[in-house]
Amino acid sequence: MNATISRRLVFWLAVPLTLLALSSVLIQYFNDVAPDLIRTDRRLKAAAAAVAAHVMVRDGELVLVGGGSPLPERFAVRDAAQRLIAGDARLPITAGSAAARLRSATARIETARGPVTVTVADTVQAAGPAARFGFMSTLLWDFVQLDVTLVLVWFGIRLGLRPLKRLRDEIAARSPHDLRPIHAGSVPLELAPLAATLNRLFAMLGAAAQSQQQFIANTAHQLRTPITGMLAQLDLLAAEPAAAPLRERIAMLQEGARQLAHAANQLLTLARADSALHLAARNQPVELGAFAGEVTAKFIDRALAADIDLGAELQPASVLADPSLLDDLLGNLVDNALKYTPAGGRVTVRAGTQNGRPYLAVEDNGPGIPENERQHVRRRFYRVQNSPGHGSGLGLAIVDEIARLCNAAVSIEPGLQGVGTKISVLFPGAGTADG
């Protein structure tokens, strides 16, 4: 797992600060403690040499003679068998094993009677323990300072990284169609290159989406115009008396052309819904009751021809949305309901508010959608097995895409008394609408 920036900074600051603290301790040691110990060792070596000068062999025996330089208070002279010749028997034979507050030095000299060991000891001066206490105090204080410094550095880094967190939160809070550039004045100088790079990315995405919108507009014109002309020519041909023997085939061509026109319109609508750029600029207040009535009116003739009771239960409700996308959304819901409801059936369009949120709903008493298929039918080109008609499987995919752009929720439920299907689109309330 990658380490955070704050942890990396604390680590790379902790290493040199620890080395500096150790260096300070070593300097303290060599300045205060070491000189005193070195002076004591030199004095003890000189004293050991003075004692060694008094060791002589007389009548075949090792003796310590007086005269000359005075002898130190604490010393011991031993022969090769470590028998005491003179001095204090309590002194250690080797240096470094003296009792507390004693420091000793040992010298070895050769005589006619073999090697002699001279040990000299002295009480450590009062300055020695004081210096060592000062050294230990300095060591402890330096590492306390190091710990406090690292804690302060940690909090400082956390505070210093707040602008980066604000930039992250600002980008995360944006909707998919919000490609506004980041204001350079709202970020620190260190983050200005990152903000500039993101602004270039936003600009490229905006240009790509704008090109897609232009392509969709051109494709819509290129597809719809010839298909409409072909349908008109087929209608004229079917009306000709000479075409009577071919009317069945012409009707099949008409139905195929209408399905082609419907599929082309659905594909273009789906492509337009995929592009989230500049939707906010086309959003405007829409009164759902009146709007749903206008869309329903477009399907009256088709419902009458199919012997389906198409009605509407409309109440006032307002949303902020793109009217053309809402037209596609509700139109696909009504088209699906009429397509799969048998003759003599009923389709009802509803609009109003539910728990303070605007909604649109279309309910029918057709065959319904099995519960295990209700998530699958939202996918593109998916059709329920053995379903009637010749649909392309795009109707509910378009509804789902447009609802997502409007921050709305789509639910699929059974109709009244568990018969048929009710598809509802619940829009965000006034306080949660995405601008």
Tens-digit pLDDT profile for residues 125-152: 544 566 566 667 777 877 788 888 888 8
The rounded distance, in Å, linking the Cα atoms of 61 and 53 is: 16
Percent of the chain at pLDDT > 90 equals 19
Tens-digit pLDDT profile for residues 170-185: 888 876 667 888 887 7
Give the pLDDT confidence score for residue 389 in this predicted structure.
56
CB-count burial class (<10 Å; 0-12, 13-18, 19+) for 428: middle
Mean pLDDT over each residue of the chain, to the nearest integer: 79
Give the pLDDT confidence score for residue 371 in this predicted structure.
81
Tens-digit pLDDT profile for residues 353-379: 998 899 999 999 988 888 878 777 777
Domain residue ranges in the chain: 5-154, 181-282, 283-435
Q: Tell me the HSE value of 166 on the side-chain side, using a 13 A CA sphere.
A: 12
Helix (H, G, I), strand (E, B) or coil at 290: helix
What is the domain class of 181-282 according to CATH? mainly alpha
The rounded distance, in Å, linking the Cα atoms of 407 and 435 is: 10
Give the pLDDT confidence score for residue 98 in this predicted structure.
47
Inter-CA distances, 143 with 20, 129, 130, 189, 255, Å: 10, 21, 20, 35, 88
Task: Assign a CATH topology to domain 283-435.
Answer: Heat Shock Protein 90 (3.30.565)
pTM (2 d.p.):
0.49
Instruction: Show Cβ contacts of residue 414 under 8 Å, excluding neighbours closer than 6 positions.
Output: 368, 420, 421, 422
Tens-digit pLDDT profile for residues 391-418: 556 778 888 888 888 889 999 999 888 8
pLDDT at 315 over 90: yes
Which residues share a beta bridge with 362?
A: 349, 423
Domain 5-154 has CATH 3.30.450: yes
| CA 15 remoteness from chain centre | 28
